[in-house]
Amino acid sequence: MREIIFDTETTGFDPKTGDRLVEIGCIELVDRRETGQSFHAYFNPERDMPAAAEAVHGLSIQFLSDKPLFASRVDELLEFLGDAPLIAHNAVFDFGFVNAELARAGRPALDMARMCCTVQMARKLHPGAKHSLDALCTRYGIDRSHRVKHGALLDAELLAHLYIEMTGGRQIGLGLAASPAAVPVAATAAAAPRTGARPFREPRPHVASAAELARHAEFVAGLNQPLWLDTV
C-alpha cells in the first residue's frame, strides 16, 4: 500500500485571509516503509513574511523571492501524490493550505476522504497527553535533536517515523502470516528424503510398561515417611 506523509510551512494560519504556502515536503511509504522517494519545494508567496511565521520556520522573504510559484510545480506535486492516502499532523491545516493553492492554480481540491490526521490518532491512543510532534517523538523515542526550526521535509521525515510507530512499529510488516501457497509442515516433512546413516526408530508409546510400573512401586515403597502421607 502506498501512502504519502507530508508537511507544510506557511506565512500564517489562515489561507482565507491571504496567508500562503511557502514550503511542502512529502515522503513516500510503501507497506509502511520509507522508499527513499520524496518531493520537496519552496514557493514564492508573492507577499511579505510576518516576523512570527519566520521565527517558526526561518524562511525569509529574501530567501523565497527567487523560488518558483506554486502553479509552476503543481503538476509535479500532483504526480507525486497520485491517489495515495495523505497523512499529516493536524492535517486539516495542511489540506486547507494545499487546497487553497490548488484553487489559485485552477486545479481540483484534494479529496478530504484521503486525509489521515496523526493528531487525531494520538488523541485516541494517548488521551490527555501532549500531542505536538515534539512531544510524540519524545514518547516514541524518535531522535529530533537535529530539529532546530520547523521545516516541511524534516518534519515529514519525523512524522513518517512517528506514523510507523503509532500504527504498530516495523514488526507489523514482517509477513508472519502463512502464504496461500504455503505447504503444510507435516506434508513437507513426509515428502523430504531421509539423509544420513541414522536408523529410523518408531515413536515410543507414551505409556509406562509393566516392568516400569513395578520398579516405580518398589521405589515408592522404600521411601521414608513421604510427605503426601501426612495428609492421609
| Catalytic one of 150, 161, 206, 216 | 150
Q: How far is CA 59 from the centre of its chain?
A: 29
Cα Rg, the chain, nearest whole Å:
32
- Strands 115-117 and 33-42, bridge-based pairing: unpaired
Is residue 164 within a helix (H) or strand (E), and if so which, with residue range?
helix 152-166
- pLDDT tens digits for 84-99? 999 999 999 999 999 9
pLDDT on residue 144 = 83
Choose among 50, 40, 41: nearest CA to 11: 50
Assess contact for 7 and 25: CB atoms under 8 A.
yes
pLDDT on residue 217 = 83
Interatomic CA distance for residues 169 and 218, integer angstroms = 59
Q: For residue 214, which phi and psi values (nearest 5 degrees)?
A: -65, -45
pLDDT on residue 169 = 81
Cα-Cα-Cα-Cα torsion 113, 21, 147, 84, nearest 10 degrees, comes to: 30
Domain boundaries, the chain: 2-173
Interatomic CA distance for residues 191 and 34, integer angstroms = 40
Architecture of domain 2-173: 2-Layer Sandwich (3.30)
Q: Is 150 a catalytic residue?
A: yes
Please, which residues bridge with residue 25 across strands? 7, 40
pLDDT on residue 31 = 94
Assess contact for 151 and 25: CB atoms under 8 A.
yes
Q: What one-character DSSP code corresponds to residue 175?
A: -
Assess contact for 129 and 135: CB atoms under 8 A.
yes
Cα-Cα-Cα-Cα torsion 118, 122, 128, 134, nearest 10 degrees, comes to: -70
The amino acid that residue 166 corresponds to is M
Q: Is 155 annotated as a binding residue?
A: yes
Interatomic CA distance for residues 77 and 39, integer angstroms = 7
Mean pLDDT per block of 10 residues along the chain (232 residues) reads 97 97 98 96 98 95 98 98 98 98 98 97 96 94 80 94 90 46 40 57 72 83 74 54
Q: Is 54 annotated as a binding residue?
A: no
Contacting residues for 164 by C-beta, under 8 A, at least 6 apart = 29, 32, 33, 170
